[in-house]
Amino acid sequence: MSKYVQPDQTGHFGVYGGRFVPETLMHAITELEEVYEQAKQDPEFQKQLDYYLEKYIGRETPLYFAEGLTKLAGGAKIYLKREDLNHTGAHKINNTIGQALLTKRMGKKKVIAETGAGQHGVATATVCALLNLECIIFMGSEDIRRQKLNVFRMELLGAKVVSVSQGSGTLKDAVNEALRYWVAHVEDTHYIMGSVLGPHPFPVIVRDFQSVIGKETRKQYLEEEGRLPHAVVACIGGGSNAMGMFYPFVEDESVRMYGVEAAGHGLDTALHAASLTKGKPGVLHGAYMYLLQDEDGQIQEAHSISAGLDYPGVGPEHSYLKDINRVTYTSVTDEEALEALQMLSKEEGIIPALESSHAIAYGFKLAKQMKQEEGIVICLSGRGDKDVETVQARLGGSEHE
């Protein structure tokens, strides 16, 4: 593949992305773009970021050879990129620490963020506690009910959690309300977008901060195997861990890339979150991207057992990578993800997040079909402690019978 330079000057990845926002926000996102460009060139900023990544978050994270899983699959070697070992238990904090440092740089004192299951909310509240920033988290009322513990976690960390009952009371409504709040408080507030979504420059900023995943993986795999992996696999909701994993490999033509969406109850039902597989392009939350929508353009609810994949759109860069066929996008059902979660727990002693279990499920299938001398990396984006209750409820008492 030739040199990959995306997005263009106006924040478009091909036709996707852009800045579909009310005029009130244009000043803030232009300012953010300028500050980010300066920060990228500033060795002091990089030094500060590296310091927190190492000392606070615990990077670099291991690239772990999953021997048990590999034997079970009987095909390609399976490596796991252990993002579950980051502070707060997932990749989300790679981005929030970077954006919190940008907030400081802009001289803003307040941070807002949206959260679905609460992982991005916790990661945001954490860095705000660390850097003395006021923090307000918008969360759907339905999600608050389902994720009481994470709400308490955020409050312990000093954040204020605002319940959003508009619309369906879930993640997309939390983003709407956070955007509305931002429009009204744009002078002193930064919005820490949690995924590779939103108006330009957010998809670029989040991708860049998450790219530490792919950069480390590339280096570690080369050290371990003396070559590049044959394939990398990551789960996709909005798409931040996948973009972080894929981006450093985009120009390595030999490396196949697989993005795994949540098929929920199945693609032939209405209950899934497979925006790339089943959606069509449109505008939501500031960007042109693949979306789950009806004929009238109304945004539809996404469904997945994993709250982190439960979003009706997918980042503009993924939309672009799909159209140019650089990444293969596929999907995995709730059922398959649950099986993968149990399999990894038993084979490797690692309980993966339900989100990451989608990547495990597909990666396992993929490895099976590959040769033993080949190798793949699966992004283990988060740990599963937060999901134990959901899994228990879903499996019911059957395990004890």
Partner 1 sequence: MSNNRLATALKSCEQNGEKAFIPYIMAGDGELSSLKEQLLFFEQQGATAVELGIPFSDPVADGPVIQRAGIRALNNGTTLKKILEELVSIREDVSIPLIFMGYSNSILAYGIGQFVTDCVKAGIAGCIIPDIPVEEEGLFAPIQEAGIHLIRLVTLTSSKERIAEIAETAQGFIYAVTVTGITGAREAFGSEVGAYLEQVKEISPVPVLAGFGISTPEHVRSATKYCDGVIVGSKIIESLEQNRKQDIIELIQASKKQVQQ
Q: Which positions are annotated as active-site residues?
A: 92, 114, 381
Residue 273 contacts partner 1 per CB under 8 A: no
The nearer residue to partner 1, 6 or 330, going by C-beta atoms, is 6
Q: Which of 49, 123, 125, 186 binds partner 1 (CB under 8 A)?
A: 186
DSSP secondary structure, 161-178, as one string? EEEE-STTSSHHHHHHHH
CB 134 within 8 A of CB 103: no
Beta carbon nearer to partner 1, 28 or 344: 28
- Nearest approach, Cβ of residue 181 and partner 1 (Å): 9
Structure tokens at 380: 């283990």
Q: Closer CB to partner 1, residue 274 or residue 291?
A: 291
Name the percent of the chain in helix, strand, coil, to the closest 5. 50, 20, 30
The window from 117-125, 167-175, 239-247, 258-266 that contacts partner 1 (CB under 8 A) reads 167-175
Distances (CA, A) of 232 to 132, 227, 285, 317, 377: 37, 13, 28, 17, 5
Q: What sign does the CA torsion over 65, 71, 77, 82 have?
A: negative
Neighbours of 68 (CB within 10 A): 16
Which of 150/293 has CB closer to partner 1? 293
Query: What CA–CA distance (Å, rounded) separates 290 from 295?
Result: 14
> Is 166 one of the binding residues for partner 1 (CB under 8 A)?
yes
Can residue 183 be called a binding residue for partner 1 (CB under 8 A)? yes
* Matching residue, tokens 């409820």: 393
- Supply the minimum distance, in Å, between the C-beta of residue 121 and partner 1: 20
Q: Is 26 in the site for partner 1 (CB under 8 A)?
A: yes
Report the nearest approach of partner 1 to the CB of residue 242 (Å).
24
Nearer to partner 1, 267 or 283 (CB): 283
Q: Under DSSP, is residue 384 helix (H, G, I), strand (E, B) or coil?
A: coil
Tell me the three-class secondary structure of 177-199, residue by residue. HHHHHHHHCCCCEEECCCCCCCC
Q: Does position 22 bind partner 1 by CB under 8 A?
A: yes
Tell me how far, at minimum, the Cβ of 63 lies from partner 1, in Å: 39
Mask 275-314, x = binds partner 1 (CB under 8 A)?
Answer: ------xxxxxx----x-x-xxxxx---------------
- Please state, in angstroms and rounded to a whole number, the distance separating the CA atoms of residues 213 and 48: 18
CA distances, 280 to each of 275, 291, 364 (Å): 7, 5, 29
- Least Å from the CB of residue 165 to partner 1: 11
Per rule CB under 8 A, count of chain residues that contact partner 1: 36
Q: Is 162 in the site for partner 1 (CB under 8 A)?
A: no
Using CB under 8 A, list all residues that contact partner 1: 10, 18-28, 166-167, 172-173, 176, 179-180, 183-184, 186-187, 281-286, 291, 293, 295-299
